[in-house]
Structure 1
Amino acid sequence: MEERISELIQDEMTNPVFFSSSKDIISLFKVSDYDSVLIVLSGIEQLELYKESEFYPLLQLFKIHSLYELELFEQGALALDEVIRIESRFDSPLTSYIDLLKLNLGQSLIEKNEYDLGIQVYRHWINSESQKDLQVQARVYHNLAVGYLHKKQFDSSLWFFDEVIDLRRSLGDSSGLVQEYMNLASLYYEQYLDGQAIPLFQKALAMAKQLGDTTVLKTAEYNMAVVEENRKNYAEALAHRKEYERLLAAEWNRDRIWALAEQQKQFAIDTKQQEVDLLAAREQQQLSELARQRTQRNGLLATAALLPALP
């Protein structure tokens, strides 16, 4: 994709400064050097052709993402408003790549607890005319539901959780469906709607046991431990807590075994390489010794041949 972007920019622009700087921006963004991205961008933003280029939205998204990664949220928000305002004027050949940047930006903002900005980015993506992949749409709806949940906007959160549950069903994503049931239960539980929350927690646990997905099952057991403890059903809470800890220990042991196996494999590779290096060194030493002996022998032969000529 990086090479394709460079080709398209070169085709469109004859300005060597613009072309060179755009390539630098792409390369710097790829290695997360956000400070340098902003420095290089500041140099070409003064060019008259910058805002007229079809690649203006793309380069601005690099800028926005860099500003947010550096936690310069106010400046990032202003730049984002500008892109949203003018983007419809452009028909970029890189629409799918620009959409991907928006998705990553939205998720980054939600993870940084910048819910308003993250929701704004995702809403803009939803309203765009680009083709929507159902897996991607499910991820976006999930993140929007989480964002609204943290903002205590429960009706909006509920709407998106219901939508993502339908998408998980359509995709046949059983593990994802269990996780969304737990998320929806948490939404109700946050509002003290135990009558709606607890049956969903129980349903999620039953489905997780059927699936055998230990990661999902571990979370379901932990949730039920909390619920039962809050209901003062301490025996049930303890049973769920013990099962959660058993799953946690099993997961830790599995990861530990895998890590040890990887270490042993790497040790075997390193040991074999050392043996190869040692054999190569010995072979080189032997070759050097043979070469030295041959040179010495040849020198002796030459001296012996010359001796009779001395008189």
Structure 2
Amino acid sequence: MIQKKHNFLLLFLFLTSIALSQESLNYFDIAIQKKASSLKKEINFNKAQSFFFKEEWDSTLVYSMKQLNFDSDLETKEYCHYFRGYSLKKKGLYKQALVEFGLIDKSFQYYYLVDYNVGHLFHFEKNFEKAIVYFLKSENEILNHNDENEIANLYTNIGICYMHLNKFDNAESYLKKETLLNPKKATKSLVRSYINIANFYYEQYKDEQGIYYFQKAYKLSKNIKDFKLKENSAFNMAVVEENRADYKKALVYRKESEQWKDSLNNQNKIWAVADFEKKFAVAQKQKQIKVLEVENKLKDTQRNSLFFASIGLLLILTGGVYLYGQKVKNAKTILLQKNKLDELNATKDQLFSIVSHDLRSSVNALKTSNAKLSATLETKNYDELHQLIIQNSTIANGAYSLLDNLLHWAMLQTKQLYFHKESIHLYSIVQQIEYNYKPLLLDKAITFENSVSKNIFIFVDLDSLKIVLRNLLDNAIKFSNENGKISFYTQETNPDFCDLIIEDNGIGMSENTIKELLQEGELLAKKSGSEIIGTGLGLQLCKQMIRKNSGTLAIESEINKGTKMILSFPKTRTNG
């Protein structure tokens, strides 16, 4: 039965995420929209609430803080603190979220939502008794709104907390309340409810009752379109069959779970590729239209020359000279365009060759690793399975980064990338980038130091700045040794500009490599004395985006001593 408990924990993590993903507070959404309508002149508040609904948490944090910096009425501040607390919770910054929720006064009309979210925070930190206290504080108001979906989520959270505390009678009571709220038809909510009650029985070793609900959830999942839920339902059945020692059936369910997982990944990839192909096709059509326009102009010129020829010899001579001049000019233009097109084609061919080679290597490595994964699965060597899964994740992340850079590079070249410059708090952005790369830093035991001045505001485009910092931090991690150190800090050598330095103590590079990287259009770069080869596309993308933001890039490095990437951006004028 020890094996069963281990597998149950995996299933239980899924349960916890389900209870959070179903939050639906339509009446509160309407209240936010009404508040925004009454504050049409408050641009920062309107942007904050817009990004809140779009679930773009970083932007929500930025604009809600900007609104709090202005004099606002108490209710507006309460909304802003709620936006910030909720966004920090979604980003996994639970302590900071608790501080923001604590700044909201109890007179706030929707304060019960604060209690509800604080309950989630204690739930995440495994303080289940406190979580239950706060969930129960919000119960009366939630029941008053008669939103079955919201009530079901509340009961699910309370039931799961009681389950963690081994208070199974209380847990059963709340989980059964949840299943009674769901309609008796194939819905995602009903499938999740069955999984909840199944895990409850399974935790108490009431296998037959638990398996019964697992099977009901699996059968109902066949009639829904949620790939993630299908994957988890099949995975639950695989765990059940493994515990019953029917490994043949377990393997069938695991394969089905993997197929649904692949379908979800493939769906996302197909959408991305289709979007890229559509843009490429539009660009090709536009080129054809331009060629036809040139041809039509030439035909018009010839028709005009014939018309002028009928007037007289003088006009014929004048028209001939004019036509000859136009032809010479067009010929020069066409020649210049041809040379530029040849150069672009050469760059394109080189890029496709490099990218296809890297992708082929990644796919081949993934194929080989999956073969090992399949073989290891039969031998039940879980330690090796864990390492292979980590290896697969690393390969997939590398391929994704390459494709992401390729997409942004293509959009930049075709002038489809939108730039909107605004005042950005540099320290907060570096803090966000550090959070996104925390797993990679921990994997190599790299120390990250954010010494950026908290008083610096720069005037740049936020999205392109994030792309630049992500690429440079990714390179710094890649070329750093185990137990290395990466530092972000600022220095001011010009009153109108801020220098951001990204420093590592990794393998470094030679002067020739630096010149090669800074050379315009150079796609292939190799670190001296290293077998690590990259397309150089990420750095080329960074250079172009830095230029678009009126910035500069410099590199200082020594072999085996580390590298400094020095970025210079214009400050916000009000800070000057």
TM-score class normalised by the smaller sequence: 0.5 to 0.7
Aligned-pair identity in percent equals 24
Give structure 2 stretches of 5+ with no counterpart.
Answer: 1-29, 52-57, 309-313, 320-576
- In structure 1, the partner of 2:500 is none
Out of 185, 197, 205, the position equivalent to 2:198 is 185
**In structure 1, what is the equivalent of residue 181 of structure 2?**
167
**Deviation of residue 181 (structure 1)?**
1.0
CA contact (8 A) 1:188 1:194 kept: yes
Q: 2:45 aligns with which of 25, 32, 35?
A: 25
Equivalent residue runs for 1:252-271 within 5 Å: 261=274, 263-271=276-284
Contact (CA 8 Å) 1:67, 1:73: kept in 2 or not?
yes
CA contact (8 A) 1:122 1:140 kept: yes
In structure 2, the CA distance between the partners of 1:79 and 1:288, relative to structure 1 (3 Å rule), is farther
Cα contact 2:159–2:174 (8 A) shared by 1? yes
- 8 Å CA contact 1:57–1:83 kept in 2: the answer is yes
Q: 1:58 — aligned with what?
A: 79
- Following superposition of structure 1 onto structure 2, how do residues 119-158 of structure 1 map, counting pairs within 5 Å? 123=136, 125-128=138-141, 131-146=145-160, 154-155=168-169, 157-158=171-172
Distance 1:75 1:260, change over 3 A: closer
Give the residue type in structure 2 aligned to 1:169. Answer: P
| 2:68 is equivalent to residue 41 of structure 1 | yes
Q: CA deviation at 1:81?
A: 4.3
Structure with the larger helix share: 1
Give the counterpart letter for 1:182 in structure 2: I
Structure-2 residue corresponding to 1:228: 241
How many Å apart are 1:277 and its aligned residue? 4.1
2:209 alignment counterpart: 196
When residues 214 and 63 of structure 1 are mapped into structure 2, their CA distance, relative to the original with a 3 A threshold, is closer
Normalised by the length of structure 2, the TM-score is 0.37
Cα separation, 2, equivalents of 1:260 and 1:105: 38
Using the alignment, how far apart are the partners of 2:122 and 2:316 within structure 1? 79
Distance of aligned partners of 1:193 and 1:5 in 2 relative to their CA distance in 1, 3 Å threshold = same
Task: Select the structure that is richer in strand.
Answer: 2
- The letter for the 2-side match of 1:223 is N
Q: 281-290 vs 257-266, which deviates more? A: 281-290
Q: 2:187·2:224 contact (CA, 8 Å) conserved in 1? A: no
Shift of the 148–8 alpha-carbon distance from structure 1 to 2, 3 Å rule, reads farther
Counterpart residue identity of residue 189, structure 1 = Y
Q: 1:221 corresponds to which letter in structure 2?
A: A
Shift of 1:252: 5.6
Whether 1:5 aligns to 2:32 is no
In 2, Cα distance between the equivalents of 1:144 and 1:197?
A: 19
In the TM superposition, what is the alpha-carbon distance from 1:186 to its structure 2 partner?
A: 1.8
The 3 A distance-change label for structure 1 pair 156 and 269 is farther
Instruction: In structure 1, give the amino acid aligned to 2:146.
Output: K
Structure-2 change in CA distance of 1:263 and 1:9 (3 Å): closer
Does residue 205 in structure 1 map to residue 218 in structure 2? yes
Taking structure 1 as reference, are residues 213 and 150 closer, same or farther at Cα in structure 2, changes over 3 Å only?
Answer: farther
Q: How many aligned positions are there?
A: 273
Please state whether the residue corresponding to 1:169 is helix, strand or coil: coil
Deviations 1:155-176 (A, max 9, x none): 5543443222112226x45343
- Scaled by the length of structure 1, the TM-score of the pair is 0.61
Distance 1:138 1:276, change over 3 A: farther
Q: AA paired with 2:147?
A: D
Structure 1: 5+ residue stretches without partners: 11-18, 302-311
Cα distance between partner residues in 2 of 1:255 and 1:40: 36
Letter in 2 for 1:62: F
Larger radius of gyration: 1
